Structure 1
Amino acid sequence: MKKLLLIMPRFFNYPELIKDELNNLGYEVDFFDDRPSTNAWIKAAIRINKNIISKYIERYFDEVMNIVQSKRYDIVFLISGQSLSFGENMIAEIKACQPQAKFVLYQWDSQTNFPYIKNVQRFFDKCYSFDRRDIEETPSLKFLPLFYSRTYEEIGKRNNKKYKYDFCFVGTAHPKKYKLINMMSAQLKEVYPNQFIYYFFPSPIVYFYRKLMNKELRSAKYSEFHYVPLKGKEMNDIYEGSKCVLDSAQAGQLGLTIRVLEALGAKKKIITTNEDIVNYDFYRPENIYVYDGNIDLNNVFFKSECVEVEECIYKKYSLRCWLTEIIDGE
């Protein structure tokens, strides 16, 4: 069996989903978080200035390397976002001890928000980004949108029409996102009164930091936010019981969030602030409404049911197709 080293954030249950799908594709997977701890202070320090905890990161990396050095991997796969704590020298050390492996990088945060990632791209044989603007800026990158897992595919197959909510939003409360979701919520109240909104912060520390640093959150109340992520079944039930999914891109980001792809997988309608969505092959005006600050209730989106997307287009955004491209793509 081929061996794969997976380094990525422990974000919701995505590492487990990716690992399970890789197992299905015939890979034995070793997974390591890209930061030394999910402790609130550690997460906050990495985002603000990881040099604050450099010694702690070095100790964690040494622990990782004790295991990595004892194995031979066919693929080293780094899914990189703003939580990445490993420095260039650390990536180089992994590369040096696994000379036979194919190194693949996937960026699921934009270079605009995470410019450091440009410094480590040279260590990888293939580099992908979910953001079309990254590809324009760095032509050596390949464009690859995010994915939906089998869980959302199953929701789509069941096609439950007994809705508990008119729309749902579950996501991290980035300042711009918080402002726009609140605007959409207020403007949709008349036609979509049953709303489920779950603003998430990884810790109260991040909430207080954001409230201090971002004007969009100055009047936000602590009680508006949740500090533990929704568990898998809770999340699935919310999606299954919702007619529509709200989405707002983080400031500086052009790529589609994973929530958009999960809504596609679950065959749900989508309201998003991301104008670039009209350039994707699954875009249908009956299914997707681009929010520009106002809601037009005469739009075809509000007057029609969700229409089926062609099967070949639908399937290409599945996690297994995404991983097949990562592993086998040129």
Structure 2
Amino acid sequence: MRNLKDKNILIIMPKFYAYQSKMQADFEARGAHPHFYDEEPEKTKFLILKNLEAIFHKKNVFDGFNKKLRNQIFSEMPDGGYDYLLVIRGNVLTEQTIHELKNKALKSTGKSIYYAWDSFENMRHKGELGRLFDWRGTFDSVNAKESELDYKLLPLFYSDEFDAEKIPESEKSDEIYDYVSISAFFPFRYQYFKAFKKANPDKKMCLKLYLAPSVYRGKKLKDPKLVKDLDMDIISFEPFSPAEIRDKVKNSKAVLDLAHEKQQGLTMRTMETLGIKRKLVTNNIYLREYEFYNDNNDIILSNLAAKAEEAERTGDYSAFCLPGDEWLDQPYAENEDVRKKYSIHSWIDNLFEV
């Protein structure tokens, strides 16, 4: 493991499930001192400011947030400053903020690291913020290939809870489900889940989408047809905890992971499936580019949007039939040397190779 003992690390990143706490545990196990700050305002305020930016074309709408963030960091920073500045995504951070943090918060010998935890097209700065850092990486293989800024490809990770070698024997049990998929509600996912449910009545499946009540109320006003007569076997108004998700995945033969059709980087669920040694069915065509892809373990689906429209038109859902026992019961093809390269610990090692 990379030696970060006694290093002060300034980290600006999104609040994303419990991944901050997973990172903090790793840093502290190395003897480092991580200091976390949010990379954008809380969601309601962010949406208001984003709408103001779009409607009134105000380029400086997030300047107030940036100033407040800088002042907070400067007032709380340790004596002598930081050894590392790590920014993950940095969706609303300005160049002025990065320059001031490097000049006033980072030691003269300190290093700056940027990681794109999203595709460039989904971020306001389109990846250009990365040019201000000593090292830059991305989870998106296409962005890594096409960027002129020497972005390194660094996929996401699985945490210890999803490490098959660290799950106690007492927690291991016979598989309950053939397929498990738990994720956030998006209309395309709901459409596909209904199709998979109709096409696979012979399989034991757990297909769940979390629909936040506030989102549901908004869609009832803006798009009432979308949320009319929801299948409550699929929809949950209560979020799933990381422990609940892990238990469902652990007690399954395969994971069904449905990313947005335009997503190029691999999802966290893909990495967790690798870590826990479960088979994977996904619509991310870029999976084939990674060293751990194995057609014994992984199946890639394509053109689901067109297939869903055709199925709804004709009533024939056969295009959504999932593999049965002939594939599910084949032994998982293991490669421990490769699998371990995608743990959270290896991910942090790679981030700090600067």
TM-score (norm 1): 0.84
RMSD over aligned Cα, in angstroms? 3.2
Give the Cα–Cα distance (whole angstroms) in 1 for the partners of residues 296 and 154 of structure 2.
25
Match of residue 168 from structure 1: 180
Instruction: Report if the CA contact (8 A) 2:141-2:153 is conserved.
Output: yes
Alpha-carbon displacement from aligned partner over 1:163-214 (angstroms, at most 9, x marks no partner): 3333222222244444334433433x3242332413354x71x455667778
Instruction: Report if the CA contact (8 A) 2:70-2:101 is conserved.
Output: no
1:243 aligns with 2:248: no
* Matched ranges for 1:59-208 at <5 A: 59-68=68-77, 71-80=80-89, 84-97=91-104, 98=106, 99-139=108-148, 140-154=150-164, 157=167, 158=169, 160-187=172-199, 189-201=200-212, 204=214, 206-207=215-216
Give the Cα–Cα distance (whole angstroms) in 1 for the partners of residues 225 and 103 of structure 2.
45
Match of residue 31 from structure 2: 26
Give the Cα–Cα distance (whole angstroms) in 2 for the partners of residues 280 and 310 of structure 1.
13
* Matched ranges for 1:3-18 at <5 A: 3-18=8-23
Count of paired positions: 322
Alpha-carbon displacement from aligned partner over 1:64-103 (angstroms, at most 9, x marks no partner): 332237552111111116xx33222222221221143211
Give the Cα–Cα distance (whole angstroms) in 2 for the partners of residues 313 and 211 of structure 1.
46
Instruction: Report if the CA contact (8 A) 2:92-2:124 is conserved.
Output: no
Instruction: Report if the CA contact (8 A) 1:128-1:143 is conserved.
Output: yes
Alpha-carbon displacement from aligned partner over 1:256-315 (angstroms, at most 9, x marks no partner): 101000011011111100111122221122211112233465689735434132111111
Instruction: Report if the CA contact (8 A) 2:181-2:208 is conserved.
Output: yes
Instruction: Report if the CA contact (8 A) 1:282-1:309 is conserved.
Output: no
Alpha-carbon displacement from aligned partner over 1:113-149 (angstroms, at most 9, x marks no partner): 2251423112111111111110122041111111101
Q: SS in structure 2 opposite 1:322?
A: helix
Q: SS in structure 2 opposite 1:313?
A: helix
Instruction: Report if the CA contact (8 A) 2:261-2:284 is conserved.
Output: no
Distance 1:218-1:76 versus aligned 2 partners, 3 A rule: same
Distance 1:230-1:303 versus aligned 2 partners, 3 A rule: closer
1:280 aligns with 2:305: no
User: What letter corresponds to residue 282 of structure 1 in structure 2?
Assistant: F
User: What letter corresponds to residue 76 of structure 2 in structure 1?
Assistant: I
* Matched ranges for 1:319-330 at <5 A: 319-328=344-353, 330=354
Q: SS in structure 2 opposite 1:100?
A: strand
Structure 1 vs Structure 2: percent identity of aligned residues? Answer: 25
Give the Cα–Cα distance (whole angstroms) in 1 for the partners of residues 228 and 267 of structure 2.
26
* Matched ranges for 1:236-275 at <5 A: 236-275=246-285
Indicate the structure (1 or 2) with the bigger Cα radius of gyration.
Answer: 2
- How far the C-alpha of 1:35 sits from its partner, in A, is 2.4
Distance 1:28-1:303 versus aligned 2 partners, 3 A rule: closer
- Where structure 1 has 5 or more consecutive residues not aligned to the other structure, the ranges are none
Match of residue 309 from structure 2: none
1:2 aligns with 2:11: no
Instruction: Report if the CA contact (8 A) 1:148-1:319 is conserved.
Output: yes
1:315 aligns with 2:340: yes
Give the Cα–Cα distance (whole angstroms) in 1 for the partners of residues 103 and 84 of structure 2.
14
Q: SS in structure 2 opposite 1:21?
A: helix
- Where structure 2 has 5 or more consecutive residues not aligned to the other structure, the ranges are 1-5, 54-59, 305-318
Give the Cα–Cα distance (whole angstroms) in 2 for the partners of residues 216 and 265 of structure 1.
39
Alpha-carbon displacement from aligned partner over 1:37-80 (angstroms, at most 9, x marks no partner): 3xx41253366566666535543442233223755211111111
Give the Cα–Cα distance (whole angstroms) in 2 for the partners of residues 220 and 108 of structure 1.
35
User: What letter corresponds to residue 203 of structure 2 in structure 1?
Assistant: Y
Instruction: Report if the CA contact (8 A) 1:103-1:126 is conserved.
Output: yes
User: What letter corresponds to residue 350 of structure 2 in structure 1?
Assistant: E
Distance 1:6-1:46 versus aligned 2 partners, 3 A rule: farther
TM-score (norm 2): 0.78
Instruction: Report if the CA contact (8 A) 1:285-1:301 is conserved.
Output: no
Match of residue 290 from structure 1: 300
Give the Cα–Cα distance (whole angstroms) in 1 for the partners of residues 62 and 75 of structure 2.
20
Distance 1:134-1:166 versus aligned 2 partners, 3 A rule: same
Give the Cα–Cα distance (whole angstroms) in 2 for the partners of residues 266 and 182 of structure 1.
26
Instruction: Report if the CA contact (8 A) 1:168-1:238 is conserved.
Output: yes
